[in-house]
């Protein structure tokens, strides 16, 4: 209470109130402040309004761009999802075809292998038979050759001059008697 | 060699032998020489080798036939070899033999034997073959040891084969 009182009561030794200004100061200060506020209102406010409007427009543009990007992303995502679906179906189709072809190849291969094995077996049997026959033929040929050589040698050894003359005379006689 | 050239050479040989009045002997000797060239590869290659000088080849002929054949035969063979026609000598001689046989209205009978035939055997063989074929024959005997024994006679297209070689071949075939 004493404090409030002491504030409100001017100090007798002081020229000015320790808290309240002079009236003139209040007037001049008020005028100056009014001028400053008027200037700010006159020149600063439009700029601030303009800056705010520009900022709003920029934000709006960013929002629009973000919306567009989002829409585009959604479209792209849809396309990708569609493509993924297509890829998946294509993959399934390719896998199915591959499975079918692999099954066909395996079947064909098995058939071909069975056939080839059968052919190889038949050829082997035929080769064996041929080799057996060839060996027999070669043996017979060798026997024939040796027999022939032996016969020729034996006959040549017996063909003395007398035998030669007998053969010649026999030829002359047989030819002369042939007609 | 063309047929015309062979014909020309055979005619020339024939005329020379005929002019020398030695046709029968020359023809026979040439025939044997031709068969020898046919059957002997070494002799054939020597007499037909153009890289050997003609003089040397003629010398070979003279050394080969000298004393064994008439002078006319040696000269005629030497002439053909010297002219570089050694390869055609058998064909030329065959044509000559045909010509000589035709002159006598005879056909050539080529007989191969492992051993030489006596004159009596040749005479009887000629008669037998003439009787068998019904043709007059000019007998040419070739000693060919490859027949081993017996005779094979060729008269035109007709072949009478009674050689040991053929019998052995038949035996071999049967075996």
A176·B115 Cβ contact <8 A = no
- In this predicted model, what pLDDT tens digit does every residue of B138-153 receive, in sequence order? 888 988 888 889 999 9
Give the pLDDT of residue A35. 95
Of A152, A164, A175, the CB nearest to B115: A164
Partner residue opposite B114 with nearest CB, options A152, A164, A170: A164
Residue A165: Cβ-neighbour burial (10 angstroms; 0-12, 13-18, 19+): middle
Q: Which of A144, A156, A163 sits opposite B172 (nearest CB)?
A: A144
Give the per-residue pLDDT at A8.
Answer: 58
Higher confidence at residue A136 or residue A120?
Answer: A120
Q: Is B159 near chain A, with CB under 8 Å?
A: no
Confidence grade of residue A103 (pLDDT, cut at 50, 70, 90): very high
Q: How many CB atoms lie under 10 A from the CB of residue A126?
A: 10
| Per-residue pLDDT tens over the stretch B56-113 | 888 888 888 888 889 899 989 999 998 888 888 899 999 998 888 888 888 889 999 9
Q: What are the helix (H) ranges across chain B?
A: 3-19, 23-39, 41-48, 54-65, 71-82, 89-103, 119-133, 164-174
- Token pair of A6 as six digits: 């002491």
Are B102 and B7 spatial neighbours (Cβ–Cβ below 8 Å)? no
- Cβ–Cβ below 8 Å for B128 and A172: yes
Residue pairs between chains A and B whose CB atoms are closer than 8 Å: 71
CB atoms A175 and B114 under 8 Å: no
Give the bridge partners for B152, in sequence order.
B112, B161
């Amino acid at each position: 209470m004493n404090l409030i009182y002491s504030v409100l009561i001017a100090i007798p030794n002081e020229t000015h109130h320790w808290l309240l200004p002079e009236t003139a100061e209040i007037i001049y200060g008020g005028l100056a402040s009014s001028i400053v506020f008027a200037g700010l209102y006159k020149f600063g406010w439009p700029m601030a309004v303009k800056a705010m409007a520009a900022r709003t427009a920029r934000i709006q543009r960013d929002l629009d761009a973000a919306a567009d990007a989002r829409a585009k992303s959604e479209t792209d995502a849809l396309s990708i999802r569609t493509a993924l679906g297509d890829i998946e179906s294509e993959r399934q189709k390719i896998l199915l075809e591959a499975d079918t072809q692999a099954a066909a190849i395996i079947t064909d291969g098995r058939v071909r292998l069975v056939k080839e094995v059968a052919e190889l077996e038949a050829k082997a049997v035929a080769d064996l038979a041929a080799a057996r026959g060839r060996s027999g033929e070669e043996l017979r040929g060798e026997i024939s050759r040796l027999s022939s050589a032996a016969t020729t040698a034996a006959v040549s050894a017996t063909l003395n001059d007398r035998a030669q003359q007998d053969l010649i005379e026999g030829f002359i006689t047989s030819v002369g008697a042939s007609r | 060699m063309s047929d015309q050239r062979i014909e020309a050479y055979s005619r020339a040989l024939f005329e020379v032998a005929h002019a020398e009045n030695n046709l029968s002997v020359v023809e026979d000797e040439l025939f044997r020489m031709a068969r020898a060239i046919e059957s002997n590869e070494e002799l054939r290659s020597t007499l037909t080798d153009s890289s050997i000088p003609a003089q040397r080849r003629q010398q070979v002929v003279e050394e080969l036939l000298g004393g064994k054949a008439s002078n006319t035969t040696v000269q005629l063979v030497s002439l053909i070899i010297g002219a570089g026609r050694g390869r055609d000598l058998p064909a030329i001689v065959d044509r000559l033999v045909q010509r000589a046989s035709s002159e006598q209205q005879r056909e050539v009978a080529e007989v191969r034997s492992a051993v030489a035939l006596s004159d009596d055997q040749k005479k009887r063989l000629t008669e037998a073959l003439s009787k068998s074929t019904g043709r007059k024959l000019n007998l040419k005997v070739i000693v060919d040891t490859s027949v081993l024994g017996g005779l094979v006679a060729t008269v035109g297209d007709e072949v009478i084969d009674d050689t040991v070689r053929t019998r052995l071949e038949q035996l071999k075939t049967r075996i």
